[in-house]
Structure 1
Amino acid sequence: MTSKLPKKAVIAVTSHSAKFYPDGGINGAFYTEILHPYVALTNSGFEVDLASETGTLTIDPYSLSPQFISGGDVDIVGDTEHPVNKLLKGGVKKAADLTSEDYGMFFASAGFASVYDYPTASVLQSVASDVWARGGVVAAVCHGGAIFPGAIDAETGRSIVDGLELTGFSTEADKLAGVLDKIHEDGVLTTEESAVKAGGRYVAPPSPFDDFSVTSGRLVTGANPFSAHSTAAAAIAAFEAL
């Protein structure tokens, strides 16, 4: 790698949580979309910080269900001494306290909640914009792409994803999950709609819940929770190619 960018990543985390699901359950940050990138990045020698716009977060209980937690993740969830759990409990930084120059990668984790706060998370957006301006890698998985309309390329004045291929949780997937009407009733955009708004060229996965990611140079995106690890691996490859 010839880049002199710091080998340090910030994983953005949604700070939104509210009643959301048809059964009255709350939404929040999606656990494995934080865990899997964290593990992949730290195993590759990155320093990693977690940050939300407010410095707070709530883990979406739905993300802890057996549908999403399996294999080695089962032991990690219950391990209070695991580094990611210690960070989630008391080490999530407030975005305003970050020094964006410290990071060579910005990775937006997600959860349905992110479509509510990422579009107005101006400080997280500015960190992503700065990482991009300095030649770093910007990545997002699932609904994390909701941050892209506000992440601006200083040279063009448009979103950093303008004209680039990207993926994310599809509008079809929101419908299959039974939450599309709620999202639209609340006046927010799906991730796919955000991509189009930002000028990106949205690419849907072959099937809504397939492990699927897209690399467009320094932009790396993944389609859903099952893509969190592969998206992080692709982001690491993109960083190492700089």
Structure 2
Amino acid sequence: MAHPRRALITVTSAHAPLYPDGKETGLFITEALHPFDVFKEAGFEVDLVSENGQYSPDWLSMQKDWLKDSERKVWEDHSSEFRSKLDNLLKPSDIESSKYGLFFASAGHASLIDYPDATGLQAIASKMYNDGAIISAVCHGGAIFPGIKGEDGKSIITGKRVTGFTTKGEEEEGVLDTIKSWKRPTIEASAGEAGATYVAPPGPWEAFTTTDGRIVTGANPASAEVTAKAAVEAFEKL
């Protein structure tokens, strides 16, 4: 059975103070924009969805070090396809899972807050996985995995090798205590709790992706593009 050449990128709907002076985390822009561009270039139709149809941008992701001028143009242009889809985010009730062959969880630290309880998004991904689609996530996007269930009722990453943002990276950013205050596990911890083997990147900020069957994961913001490309590669093998 040919899977639809259509990708669904999920976006966190949460936001919370994380950075100095109470600046907030939300969607890490390039973690959705880079995959969007990769999928479009590979001939996919692409839709964006969040658990409640809303999002806030992550403060750090809008800074010059993290958003190149060319990317900022796309982000600030409300008529660009990427921004207009962000401005008109879909909700899970708008999504028919059978129309998609690839699921990609974009991130930002805020994903740790809403993805574990995002039952709408999890149900879509569970259905897609059980129908044979590719399920991928980058950075903190893996927070959604424990709730994505295979036909055996276990998380789809049980027994799989996955990567995601390192606990060392959280320490380097000085945000580990904040995450603990949210009563949320780090990506490494939640992968372990779901029965997966966590594979660390060479360094917290180096581009790194790993594929295990139909599960494709990336480690950090620098990995969004390579992870999306690996997801397309996995899709081509279906």
TM exceeding 0.5: yes
Structure 1: any 5+ residue segments left out of the alignment? none
Asked whether 1:201 is paired with 2:160, we answer no
Q: Give the structure 2 partner of residue 135 of structure 1.
A: 132
Asked whether 1:174 is paired with 2:176, we answer no
1-side partners of 2:179 and 2:106: how far apart? 18
Q: Is the 8 A contact 1:8 1:103 kept in 2?
A: yes
Q: Structure 2 counterpart of 1:148, which letter?
A: F
Q: Identity across aligned pairs (percent)?
A: 46
Q: Structure 1 counterpart of 2:220, which letter?
A: N
The Cα of 1:81 is off from its aligned counterpart by 2.3
Q: Structure 2 counterpart of 1:212, which letter?
A: F
Moved over 3 A (4+): none
Q: CA RMSD in A?
A: 1.1
SS in structure 2 opposite 1:138? strand
Q: Is the 8 A contact 2:28 2:107 kept in 1?
A: yes
1-side partners of 2:130 and 2:138: how far apart? 21
Asked whether 1:78 is paired with 2:76, we answer yes
Match runs of 1:205-224 below 5 Å: 205-224=201-220
Asked whether 1:102 is paired with 2:99, we answer yes
Q: 1:36 aligns with which of 34, 45, 59?
A: 34
Asked whether 1:87 is paired with 2:85, we answer yes
Q: Give the structure 2 partner of residue 149 of structure 1.
A: 146
2-side partners of 1:17 and 1:63: how far apart? 13
TM-score under structure 2 length normalisation: 0.97
The Cα of 1:71 is off from its aligned counterpart by 5.7
Q: Is the 8 A contact 1:22 1:179 kept in 2?
A: no
Q: Give the structure 2 partner of residue 225 of structure 1.
A: 221
Q: 2:181 aligns with which of 165, 181, 185?
A: 185
163-172 vs 80-89, which moves further: 80-89
TM-score under structure 1 length normalisation: 0.95
Q: 1:62 aligns with which of 60, 83, 98?
A: 60
Q: Is the 8 A contact 1:5 1:136 kept in 2?
A: yes
SS in structure 1 opposite 2:24? coil
2-side partners of 1:197 and 1:174: how far apart? 18
SS in structure 1 opposite 2:65? coil
How many residue pairs are counted as aligned between the two chains?
A: 238
Structure 2: any 5+ residue segments left out of the alignment? none
Q: Is the 8 A contact 1:30 1:111 kept in 2?
A: yes
Q: Structure 2 counterpart of 1:125, which letter?
A: Q
Q: Is the 8 A contact 2:75 2:82 kept in 1?
A: no
The Cα of 1:208 is off from its aligned counterpart by 0.4
2-side partners of 1:67 and 1:46: how far apart? 29
